[in-house]
Structure 1
Amino acid sequence: MVKMLRGRYQPQKLIGRGGFGRTYLALDSDRLNAPCVIKQFAPQTKGTKAFNKAVELFNQEAVRLHDLGEHVQIPALLAYFEHDHFLYLVQQFIDGKTLIQEVLESGPMDEHSIRDLLLDILPVLDFIHRHNVIHRDITPTNLIRRDTDRRLFLIDFGVAKHFGEALSEAAPGTRIGTEGYAPIEQLRGGQAYPCSDLYSLGATCLHLLTGCKPEKLYDHMAGNWRWQDVLAQQSRSVSPELTAVLDRLVMDAVGERFVDAPAVLAALDSSPTFRGNVPGWVRQHPESQAATPTAPQPDSVAVPTQNSVAVPTIDAQIPQTSPPPATATAPAPTPLPTPATPALAMPVTAPDPVKAPDRPAESDNWQCVRVLSGHQSWVTAVAFNPRSATLVSGSLDDTIKVWDLQTGAQMVTLQGHPRGVNDLRISTKGQVLVSCGDDGTVKVWNLSAGRLIHTLEGHARDVTSVTIGHKGWILASGSKDKTIKLWKLDKGTAIRTLLGSPAAVRAVAMMPDESTLFSGGLDNKVRQWDLKTGEMIRFFSGHVSPINDVAVSTDGLFVVSASKDKTLVVWSVGTGSIIHVLKGHNQEVNSVEIAPDNRTIVSGSNDRTVKVWDARTGTLLHTLLGHSHVVSAIAIHRTGRLIASASADKTIRVWRLGGN
């Protein structure tokens, strides 16, 4: 293998080989040494029928990826060329595990995980089918979950065909696809339809659900699937609604299957078990009335002062049992049970209200007043400095940038994390910055001097989230290693490790008085921790998918969680019951913040929007449009009149209430 291909791609190590080629992990010097994958076509023999077919398939993968264009869940085609009589295909590197690897390590998936898989991959299949491409080889090994954001990717388009070609008669004896996952029309005649990919997806789900390969789940004598019997032997089951969807996906007859991916999504959405997965009523402002156009960019941003905000007053208390508005049809939420373990249980008292100070008139609009550009990759974290007109951002390009809000200029670039930055926080006095990243460390910076003070080591995997108490003494970090660590912020020393989370921790948020911590992660639950004892107090259960972020109000009365299930849930801290379920995003919600008025909630989502909610009523007030990619992080200025949103489009947008 040459040291440098095309003066750009530097192979690092061999990660796979087959009869006709090898696959290498490489670095792309033109993209800040970003990792990529190089597929080298290097057959041992030439001139045979098998060789000619291999050349065709290798060329075909490049052509299909090029024809499809860009999709966030398909590895991007970076280059395709010939060098020294070898063919090379360069693709985006997806750092993660295949779904078969996940099952081998963690065991079979449950119903919620299978449903999430379907909701995640079906839109990808709809995309490729609308481009008249049939994948023809969907298996657990061709689905990879990226570590950084838990997003699923569909890979290996080596046998993909245009729809017309996939329907043509294949040569006798042609077998396209993987045994057990490919439907009968592919294996017998080489023909494939959109519903052929759906069959393979269904067989993949059955494998992941049971832990058994499809060929062991099909009774050839009886001519039917016995996957439910296998589940019963494992003392497990799934709902009748999901059973009906999976059974229809893997029907032998083409005409009895779902016709396309949207039909499967419609079946999932209409199933009573899946509708309203989170208990409680939903209050939603129509999005058609909430959209706010992006304003032209002025030369500067007027940063509001604390004096420009009215002195808050407390509205009448809103009891948990107050009836929903006339437009709501679901019953009022009921308190959630506390954990069964007596030591963790807390007494259930009267529901806490969300107290509502006065707020600016709802007719005021949020307008984008500045777009900050300079990062070379996804912007994953953002925070306002409470003591100066500056903003700090972190990115997967491994840098932290400090921005002047008045001019939009980059002031400082901090480099210290050798891998992507996942989260950051600024102390209430504006002097200390804390960041964390994929390198498994937490870093403490002197923000005014731009100097690294401490590097905190101890986590075994990526650190996903950090939080600082208002007193500025305690720092908490959450990690994929399933632990939360507490540190002394001034000395950079460890206090204790909080154990008990059964899955990776994605988010942590601390009470202002530094007495209590809230965490969320891949187990779909919000957990409440006593920081003095290190014990878990209770968990809040209601989400059906992993939690991406949590935020706690400054008055300590309520917590908001953002989830991959496309919802936000407002929880009462006092009782653990649900106050509101916020629905309006049409893709997973990545970030949530609560304004200092304890009345305004702001969220960012994969649907590229920022949404502003009323915490007291649960209504959607505004939808902010402008980002061209996933919104990954949100920050709110201490005055409550500025919002910053960070995005995978490599920009930060600053929004101001009133716009002028």
Structure 2
Amino acid sequence: MATEIATGSNAAKGRDLSPLEALIRTNAQNTKLIYAPTSASTPGRKRLKLDPELDVSDPALDKTGLSLRLHAEYSDVQTLPEAIASKLPAAGPRKKKPKAAADDAPTPPEEKARKLIEGIPASRTAGSSSANSNALVVSRNKPSSASTPGGKQSNQQRNEPQNMSLTRRSDVLAQPKPDWHPPWKLMRVISGHLGWVRALAVEPDNKWFASGAGDRTIKIWDLATGGLKLTLTGHISTVRGLAVSPRHPYMFSCGEDKMVKCWDLETNKVIRHYHGHLSGVYTLALHPTLDVLVTGGRDGVARVWDMRTRSNVHVLSGHTGTVSDLVCQEADPQVITSSLDSTVRMWDLAAGKTMGVLTHHKKGVRALATHPSEFTFASASTGSIKQWKCPEGAFMQNFDGHNAIINTLSVNDQNVMFSGGDNGSMSFWDWKSGHRFQALDTTAQPGSLDAESGVMSSVFDLSGTRLIVGEADKTIKIWKPDETATPESHPLEWKPTLARRKF
């Protein structure tokens, strides 16, 4: 019996199996046509080699198999839907990439993968540095150490001076010499208010100015003679902000009674109220070209109002403390606010959002001032005045020397900046260099307390030759340059110092 089985198996081995092999090939080709029509029907593509003795590492088979899987998985998402594609911008022509350097050529496995999947760039770029290099700056003009035989630098390369020099840069620390300015002297003292003078504004024709004080009144004064022309009543608390419109016969006022009023200067009456602040309103400013009013106060927000419709256009929120001062200008940032949270914020007026936050001050920022002709501004906190460049808010320089709580800043077009302190100290600065060319203390009115010798507000008139200062002794003082002073009689006392660029 065993002999018969062995004989039968030998007969089967000798039998011809060619029909079975042909059937397997036919089934495999049909399967490929059903499940991979894209690859099989594409002209120029090689068909799968179905020889059982085929080497698995054949690159043609690897490429075909990978192409089959890519088409099977991603054929449905190769193109975007029409609704999405219509919203995207049309793709421009591709820029030709620079050829990679010889030492950055991809390795054989990377090159093989890149050829298998078209459209995937090599992982290394021509600008990448060597993995073994410790250099912080790669020079594009000099050959790297890897290009020399043996990977060692030549003596010439080792002895060349590095570009990262530790020597002092004269162009950065060079301090400009300040311009000579005549000293300022007291010209007139105006009395009439019964409280601290907290707000000042000069009208566009430079004929009169307005003052607001703690006695809840607004007084109109003749600028040439200092005589009282008019007294306006309506606020029920201290008046903290004033602004006169250059394009309309309007004057705006705000106070600690949460009120923002619009006065008609033809009838001397209030014609509009702007309701919205939750606490005292400490500052306001008019946009130079738009019919827009911006106010800020103790509720920590700045509100943008439509001057005519009284609608609240924006609520500029972001400060965590009282908004102490704000300024408006034509170009971005069109609104700049300072706060007792030690920050200065620059705002995008169209979007109503913050463009930038300046956090250099260590204490609450109480005053701002923009230059009338330059695109710069200054901010003041206790013992610190800083100058900034618009529109990005880049730090320019410090004004060092006024060690007091600074309540007010003012700048004229002759590059003279004034700063007034809470203790009655006054400083005059050269705007270009930050040099303080005059420092003095105000003289309190006879009969007032020593604690009332504080400078609360200030403004230059439109000519820049008169400085109006409101003080805590209930007076208004007008200062002017000394006309008899010359560079010989009052020489410039200035010594250049280092480290002027610190924050």
Query: Is the TM value for this pair above 0.5?
Result: yes
2:268 to 428, 431, 450: 450
Q: 8 Å contact 2:175–2:433 — kept in the other structure?
A: no
Q: 8 Å contact 2:356–2:392 — kept in the other structure?
A: no
Q: 8 Å contact 1:469–1:513 — kept in the other structure?
A: no
**Mapped pair 1:566 → 2:390:** no
For residue 323 of structure 1, what is the aligned residue in structure 2? 174
What runs of 5+ residues in structure 1 fail to find an aligned partner? 1-318, 327-355
Q: 1:523 to 1:515 in 2, by over 3 A?
A: closer
For residue 636 of structure 1, what is the aligned residue in structure 2? 460
For residue 428 of structure 1, what is the aligned residue in structure 2? 246
Deviation at 1:585, TM superposition (A): 2.1
Moved >4 Å (runs of 4+): none
Q: 1:380 to 1:540 in 2, by over 3 A?
A: same
Q: 8 Å contact 1:393–1:401 — kept in the other structure?
A: yes
Which residue identity is paired with 2:428? V
**Mapped pair 1:390 → 2:208:** yes
**Mapped pair 1:594 → 2:411:** yes
Q: 8 Å contact 1:368–1:654 — kept in the other structure?
A: yes
User: Superposed, which structure 2 residues align to 1:607-618 within 5 Å?
Assistant: 607-618=423-434
Which residue identity is paired with 1:409? G
For residue 296 of structure 2, what is the aligned residue in structure 1? 478
Q: Deviations over 1:6-58 (max 9, x none)?
A: xxxxxxxxxxxxxxxxxxxxxxxxxxxxxxxxxxxxxxxxxxxxxxxxxxxxx
Q: 1:567 to 1:508 in 2, by over 3 A?
A: same
Deviation at 1:373, TM superposition (A): 0.5
Deviation at 1:528, TM superposition (A): 0.4
Deviation at 1:448, TM superposition (A): 4.4
Give the paired residue count.
307
Q: Deviations over 1:569-610 (max 9, x none)?
A: 11122443321211222311001122134x221111113133
2:235 to 417, 421, 437: 417
Q: 8 Å contact 2:332–2:391 — kept in the other structure?
A: no
**Mapped pair 1:626 → 2:442:** yes
Q: Deviations over 1:448-500 (max 9, x none)?
A: 43221211110001111101121251110011111110012233332121112
Deviation at 1:620, TM superposition (A): 0.7
Q: 1:612 to 1:447 in 2, by over 3 A?
A: farther
Identity %: 27
Counterpart Cα distance in 1 of 2:192 and 2:201:
16
Which residue identity is paired with 2:281? V
Q: Deviations over 1:370-409 (max 9, x none)?
A: 1110100111011222214211100011111001122222
Q: 1:659 to 1:432 in 2, by over 3 A?
A: farther
Q: 1:423 to 1:320 in 2, by over 3 A?
A: farther
Partner SS state of residue 263, structure 2: strand
Deviation at 1:438, TM superposition (A): 0.5
Partner SS state of residue 444, structure 1: strand
Which residue identity is paired with 1:626? T
1:653 to 456, 477, 502: 477
Q: 8 Å contact 2:332–2:348 — kept in the other structure?
A: no
For residue 400 of structure 1, what is the aligned residue in structure 2? 218
Counterpart Cα distance in 2 of 1:470 and 1:477:
15
Counterpart Cα distance in 1 of 2:371 and 2:406:
18
Counterpart Cα distance in 2 of 1:472 and 1:390:
24
1:582 to 399, 406, 431: 399
Counterpart Cα distance in 2 of 1:514 and 1:396:
34
Q: 1:624 to 1:644 in 2, by over 3 A?
A: farther
1:545 to 363, 368, 375: 363
Q: 8 Å contact 1:366–1:658 — kept in the other structure?
A: yes
Q: Deviations over 1:131-153 (max 9, x none)?
A: xxxxxxxxxxxxxxxxxxxxxxx
Partner SS state of residue 457, structure 1: coil
Q: 8 Å contact 1:470–1:513 — kept in the other structure?
A: no
For residue 313 of structure 2, what is the aligned residue in structure 1? 495
Counterpart Cα distance in 1 of 2:214 and 2:284:
16
Q: 8 Å contact 1:471–1:514 — kept in the other structure?
A: no
Which residue identity is paired with 2:473? D
2:341 to 516, 523, 527: 523
User: Superposed, which structure 2 residues align to 1:38-187 within 5 Å?
Assistant: none
Q: 8 Å contact 1:378–1:650 — kept in the other structure?
A: yes
Q: 1:472 to 1:416 in 2, by over 3 A?
A: farther
Deviation at 1:513, TM superposition (A): 4.5
Counterpart Cα distance in 2 of 1:638 and 1:397:
27
Structure showing greater radius of gyration is 2
Counterpart Cα distance in 2 of 1:375 and 1:492:
30
Q: Deviations over 1:289-341 (max 9, x none)?
A: xxxxxxxxxxxxxxxxxxxxxxxxxxxxxx99342379xxxxxxxxxxxxxxx
Counterpart Cα distance in 1 of 2:385 and 2:236:
33
Partner SS state of residue 423, structure 1: strand
1:532 to 350, 359, 370: 350
Which residue identity is paired with 2:231? T
Q: Deviations over 1:407-460 (max 9, x none)?
A: 222111111110111111122247321111101121111234322121111000
